[in-house]
Amino acid sequence: MSDVASRAFEPHWVQRPGTAVGRVHRPTTQRSALELFAEDPTRRLVAGGTDLVVELDRDSGPSVELIDVSRIDRARIVESGHLDGRAHQVLGHGVTHNQVVTTPSLVERALPLAQACLEIGSPQLRNRATIAGNLATASPANDSISALLALDAQLQLARLVDGEVAERMVGIEDFFLGVRSTVLEPGEMIASIWVPEPHEHQTGIWVKAGLRKAQAISVVHCGISLEFASSSRDSSIVSARIALGSVAPTVVLSSAAADALIGRSLNDDTIADAARAAAASVRPIDDGRATADYRSATVETVVRRALASLASEDERGRWPARIPTLGTNAPATSTSTTTSTSTSTSASVIDDQSEIRVAINGNDIAAGGAASTTLLDWLREHAGTGTKEGCAEGECGACTVMLDGAATMSCLTPAAQADGARVTTVEGLAGDAPLSVMQQSFVDNFAVQCGYCIPGFVVSATALRAEFEAPTRDEIELGLSGNLCRCTGYYAILEAVRATGGTQ
């Protein structure tokens, strides 16, 4: 058999030569993670995997080992702390974007960060993707950066030096060196993110311009923090931080825009001056998403609109009353039909010879091959589920499954991270009935054309209905924004979900 003919039986060899993962280490304490990282700094940290899995798929370098930092104790804690005499919100390195948007103290005291997190990717992505991963990837398009820069956040970094954990605080302004380049030393990780709580008359906003509402990398993103002399928005501005993303190799603070505001009050003239100064202060480049000219013009528009919202005290105006997360809000068992007794293998390292154990639709399945594959491929090959692969890059939602009660893109999830977890696929939604209520509604409303996207839609829609008894049209659209239908059968799909209890 020719080489091409024999390789044709292997999955995806043309599209995805990929970097092989040899082993996945699974520390449960920060110290053990740092020991593993110090022992071999070429190992890669993995949190949600939403950037790393795509990166490894696209590259075809030598085999790597991963250190899964998602299991570290207290990684997902949000708590209060004090730094330099100022109250801060402290986010563990495992805090996800959906956690931010559903944590009242962050929505209240770090609104620009919450606004940025709500516009990152899709609900499924936000259930797993972390702020720390967003920062460490160090793309100037990464949305949380402009929010945290405007808020003047600090990062606590940690590594092992002479066998001891050495920590240092780095201002977010000093963290980025260039595109995909940071001050992180070999073996060093982001341990936590410190966000100062606002002063009495301080407020902020975050705005993004993208090519569509969801799943859109920013053309421009902008975080703003202003401190006024008094509670009146007509009073003069005491301090200003205006951070602009996707316009330079790193997200930048526009001192020219800040200078146009400080000492003045926020009115049409100062807003126009600051917006013009912001646009003049950046030198964007052309790329596939926008030309440099378009970006500069967009900076002016985005800054003007953001400042106008602040002037009219409308910074929270577009914040939704309820946010569909497809899992983060819901009780852990909300959409799962599982009654599994499955437990993790508890192995501290997983390679392709180790078995992982996953409770899939209530049945315990144990199989190997989990180090080098995604949950999507593992489910299809070892559990025989009908979970679909569309894009394999987190864009389409066809592969959506419930992972421990949260909707997840299984194509972006390293299979090793599902060890000991409960997974519900489309096959598990109906329990003992022929079809679930949602599946029947899709049939009744002719919401299926080719059907390729439908398993993912039905899983996401079921998770949404488990979260909200009667979701509004806006909530249905936001909840399903991570699912694409190439037949554009959206109206029938939205109607199918609404018919199960949603309102107009």
Ligand X SMILES: Cc1cc2nc3c(=O)[nH]c(=O)nc-3n(C[C@H](O)[C@H](O)[C@H](O)COP(=O)(O)OP(=O)(O)OC[C@H]3O[C@@H](n4cnc5c(N)ncnc54)[C@H](O)[C@@H]3O)c2cc1C
Residue 120 or 358 having the CB closest to ligand X: 120
Residue 467: CB minimum distance to ligand X, A? 21
133 interface partner picked from ligand FES, ligand X, none, CB below 5 to 8 A per type? ligand X
- The Cα–Cα gap between 146 and 143 comes to 6
132 interface partner picked from ligand FES, ligand X, none, CB below 5 to 8 A per type? ligand X
Residue 262 or 499 having the CB closest to ligand FES: 499
Residue 17: CB minimum distance to ligand FES, A? 18
Residue 145 or 430 having the CB closest to ligand X: 145
Residue 155 or 448 having the CB closest to ligand X: 155
Residue 370: CB minimum distance to ligand FES, A? 18
47 interface partner picked from ligand X, ligand FES, none, CB below 5 to 8 A per type? ligand X
Residue of 455, 385, 376 lying closest to 417 (CA atoms)? 376
Residue 11: CB minimum distance to ligand FES, A? 13
Length of the chain, in residues: 504
Residue 341 CB coordination number (10 Å): 7
Residues of the shown chain interacting with ligand X in the complex, contacts defined by CB under 6 A: 44-52, 54, 69, 93, 120-121, 125, 129-130, 132-134, 136-137, 142-143, 189-190, 215, 217, 393-395
Residues of the shown chain interacting with ligand FES in the complex, contacts defined by CB under 6 A: 389-392, 394-399, 409, 411, 448-454, 485-487, 489
**Half-sphere exposure of residue 138: CA atoms within 13 angstroms, side-chain side:** 17
* Under 8 Å between Cβ of 366 and 341: no
Residue 307 or 459 having the CB closest to ligand FES: 459
Q: H or E segment at 116?
A: helix 111-118
Residue 109 or 159 having the CB closest to ligand X: 159
Tokens of 240: 């200003």
Residue 122: CB minimum distance to ligand FES, A? 8
Residue 25: CB minimum distance to ligand X, A? 13
> Which residue shows structure tokens 């405007």?
150
* Under 8 Å between Cβ of 492 and 445: yes
Residue 46: CB minimum distance to ligand X, A? 4
Residue 140 CB coordination number (10 Å): 22
Residue 64 or 464 having the CB closest to ligand X: 64
Give 343's DSSP letter.
-
CA distances from 292 to 218, 305, 417 (A): 14, 20, 40
* Under 8 Å between Cβ of 25 and 348: yes
CA distances from 362 to 36, 341, 456 (A): 34, 9, 19
449 interface partner picked from ligand X, ligand FES, none, CB below 5 to 8 A per type? ligand FES
